[in-house]
Structure 1
Amino acid sequence: MNSRAYLENADEVMAKIAKGAFLTVKAGDAVNTMTIGWATIGIIWQRQVFMVAVRDSRHTFQLLEKTDNFTVSIPSDSTCKDAVAFCGTRSGRDCDKFKECNLRQKPAEHVESPIIDIPGIHYECKIIYKSAMDSALMDGALDKLYPQKDYHTLYFGEILACYESE
């Protein structure tokens, strides 16, 4: 899959993300990965963009604030199911998720943040915009997703590369 074809299988990709994907960030010497299940892929400002939502309380948020890039690795099958669950429930502040889940990092081609070395689809993104959510949600039904008022910051990453690995 090349970066020009990133939307060809968007329905399939979004269905896989809903089951869990890895958002990986490197800032300085610190690297962390977390599970995401919400994202948007599309075109904005005439650019191919991958938008991720990260709660401000997350360790990954702290790293994203110190860098300008991230990667998303979407497993092609369920072999990473346990790692996806672990990385979605544990904080990188408290443990080394890579060691705990036996996940290997692989250098990305265009950004500093590594990809997860798994069979799947990988996106390399450069952050071009971020926006912190506030309490002015237009749909009151969404309030139930934020009982602690722990809102997300939305990071818009221009897709620099998109490829599949075996």
Structure 2
Amino acid sequence: MKFNENLETAMEHLHKRGAFLTVKSGDKSNTMTISWGSVGFMWKKPVFMALVRPSRYTYDLIENSDSFTVSIPYDDNMKKALTICGTKSGRDIDKCAEANIEFISSKEVSSPVVDNCNMYYECKILYKQAMDPALILDDSVEECYKGDNYHTLYYGEIVACYEK
């Protein structure tokens, strides 16, 4: 399917309910809940831009990976799993067991997807950029951090996009 098919629905669910950002590095995989991200077209490629703070376990993995996936559920069946994956660290718990989720192989990249979601984006990392707080021009953006780490932005070419 084209990366922009049903994009409005996917972005609405990402923002309002959350999605799973999943990364595999070596033999370790981890997922975390995200509600920020964007899809666009850059460098003649469809791109998903995901944000990860350096304090997150997923950051340790994505820094040593060439890919990530985004799995977006459209209903409330994954609400508890999204809460667990957004509040607990993969450093401390087995998220798959605790959240009752299962990773399944993706079609094009090494990072897996989360089973039983509705929309999937598989992304090959093209570029990353740590945020520079000196370049923030709007105070309302700064309010999102309040002493927490700034994100690193990961731009991933969408190499596969599909619905369940």
Pair in the same fold by TM > 0.5: yes
1:22 is the counterpart of 2:20:
yes
Partner of 1:91: 89
Partner of 1:129: 127
Deviation at 1:149, TM superposition (A): 4.1
Gaps of at least 5 residues in structure 2 are none
Give runs of aligned pairs for residues 70-85 of structure 1, distance below 5 A.
70-85=68-83
Output the CA distance in 1 between the equivalents of 2:20 and 2:78. Answer: 10
**How many positions carry a matched residue from both structures?**
162
- Compute the TM-score of the two structures, normalised by the length of structure 1: 0.95
Output the CA distance in 1 between the equivalents of 2:120 and 2:100. Answer: 18
Code of the aligned partner of 1:11:
E
SS, match of residue 145 in structure 1? coil
SS, match of residue 87 in structure 2? coil
Partner of 2:151: 152
Output the CA distance in 2 between the equivalents of 1:161 and 1:101. Answer: 26
Runs of 4+ that moved beyond 6 A: none
Code of the aligned partner of 1:142:
V
Percent identical among aligned pairs is: 49
Corresponding residue to 1:10 among 7, 12, 24: 7
Output the CA distance in 1 between the equivalents of 2:74 and 2:161. Answer: 14
Between 1:139-148 and 1:104-113, the stretch displaced more is 139-148
Gaps of at least 5 residues in structure 1 are none
1:32 is the counterpart of 2:30:
yes
Deviation at 1:78, TM superposition (A): 1.1
Output the CA distance in 2 between the equivalents of 1:21 and 1:141. Answer: 24
